[in-house]
Amino acid sequence: MNDGSAAKPGLLRELGFLSAFCMVAGSIIGTGVFLVASDMSTSLPAPTQALSAWVVAGILSLFGGLIFSELGAMFPGTGGQYLFLREAFGPIPGFLYGWTLFSVIQSGTIAAVAIGFAKFLSGLTPLSPTAMNLAASLAIAVFTGINLLGVRKGAQVLDAVTTFKIAVLVLLAGAGMLLSSKTTESFGSFAGFQAPAFGVALVAAFWSYDGWSNLCFVAGELKNPQRIIPLAMFAGITAVAVVYIGANVAYYRMMPVAAIKASTFVAADAVRVMAGPGAVKLMSVAVMLSALGCLNAMILAGARVVFAMADHQELPPSLAYVHPTYRVPTNALFLQGAWSILLVWSGRYDQLFTYVMGATLFFYGLTASAVVVLRKARPNAERPYKTPAYPILPAIYIFSMLAIVLNTFVQKPKESFAGLGIVLLGLPVYAWTRQKSPVGETAPTRG
């Protein structure tokens, strides 16, 4: 089984802190922060309440990153959550997570982000639905191709685009807060606050913050994962939270709540108020590049989970193949790209992703509980990094994830139970793959 070291054929430890930071921030920043303020304002009409949802989601995401850092430093191999759940609870929970990630979570996100890019492109150059699907498919194919040329190539693109995305959000937030407010509305209060509505808004905020866990997927390719993972998690999530909150403050200073609710592209409408119609096209281009950067990060990271599952003989061994020259999981990248493109053309990617959002948060909570389980089961294991404020911080995070998941089942029962069905569908798949790849069968030699 490949442990990700450079001492034998396999994935190489090539990525440093900058690439790790950009993996965290670049995976998070996609299109959500530029769009979801309208949906959140529908659930939480007072700006103070909506901003609080961004703050809470940012803090909880940071808690999650710090918790995952303990596991990432403890198991610095390829696979992230899949590997953590497998170590703490056994192969079946790990497989169910990996199955859900590949079949819907990661591939669905890749499809959704690619379509998001195509929609913004259509705003500049009108495209038919078929042309948008072609543009989205081409984007997936191009960035899959880039990542086939080596993790360093993918990381270089990620570093450049992430730097650009953060700069755009800093400029947006700074201009929105430095310019005179264009609305006379106050930021409101917590009067009329409703916990269920806040929970719905939190899901939207979490979707915008999601992606930070991708760093653990590529831990086997970090130069010093025990040190880099905690630092990059803290720096990346904190930086994104600051610019996210700043951007949303700018929206509410530039536009009344009613206009934000009615907007389909809040960032562009806010920029129009700030700098006029000419700036809207620039914002559209910026969001397109942001989407492509996020797409690249998701493609780079997601294939590593497929590789890890195959390396543990839980998927066909051919998916654990690593190219002898470029040292990337070639077949896993091809499979992920093909499935994501298929989801683009199915037109069901957004619905499927909605179905498993609750499952995604459940797996976050379950992974956090792995820290507690492993502290008791393996008290003497080496832990280069330990979760701060243990066990309080993990308890807060686990309780919060479960509360949001339960609220999701109450507010959206049809979608939630459909998502549960997708997860459980992994059980017969697991049984089939184990029958095809019995314990003891070795993966093909990498290289």
Average pLDDT for 11-24 = 92
Mean pLDDT of the chain: 90
Task: Count up the domains in the chain and report the number.
Answer: 1
pLDDT at 9: 39
Domain membership of residue 62 as a residue range: 17-79+109-346
Distances (CA, A) of 372 to 82, 218, 288, 426: 17, 23, 41, 26
Q: Is residue 355 part of a domain?
A: no
pLDDT for 127 equals: 94
The rounded distance, in Å, linking the Cα atoms of 112 and 274 is 29
Q: Mean pLDDT throughout 21-45?
A: 91
* Residue 5, pLDDT above cutoff 80: no
The pLDDT of residue 404 is above 90: no
Asked if residue 434 has pLDDT above 90, the reply is no
* 438 domain residue, yes or no: no
Q: Which two tokens stand for residue 353?
A: 């992703």
Q: Mean pLDDT, to the nearest integer, of 136-163?
A: 95
Is the confidence at residue 1, as pLDDT, over 50? Answer: no
Q: How many CB atoms lie within 10 A of CB 318?
A: 13
Token pair recorded at residue 57: 């989601």
Query: What pLDDT is attached to residue 3?
Result: 45
Does 7 score more than 50 pLDDT? no
- DSSP state at residue 104: I
Give the pair of three-digit tokens for residue 78: 């390829």
- What tens digit of pLDDT does each residue of 222-270 get? 999 999 999 999 999 999 999 999 999 999 999 999 999 999 899 999 9
Mean of pLDDT values over 396-402? 94
How many other CB atoms are found less than 10 A from the CB of residue 55?
15
Q: Which amino acid is at 427?
A: L
Domain membership flag for residue 31: yes
> Does residue 99 fall inside a structural domain?
no
Is pLDDT of 444 > 80? no
Residue 437 token pair: 């790849």
Q: What is the mean pLDDT of residues 308-322?
A: 93
* 374: nearest Cα among 35, 72, 59: 72
**What pLDDT score does 71 carry?**
97
Average pLDDT score over residue span 162-174 = 95
Is 30 contained in some domain? yes
For residue 355, is pLDDT > 90? no
Domain harbouring 248, CATH code = 1.20.1740.10
On whether residue 39 sits in a domain, the answer given is yes
Give the 3-state secondary structure of residue 189. coil
- Between the alpha carbon of residue 230 and those of residues 22, 214, 386, 401, the distances in Å are 14, 13, 9, 21
CB 393 within 8 A of CB 63: yes
For the entire predicted model, the pTM comes to 0.90
Is residue 140 a part of any domain in this protein? yes
- DSSP 3-state of 183: coil
Asked if residue 445 has pLDDT above 60, the reply is no
Domain annotation covers residue 101: no
Nearest-angstrom CA–CA distance, 134 and 132: 5
Tell me the range of 120-124, 198-202, 288-292, 429-433 where mean pLDDT is highest: 288-292
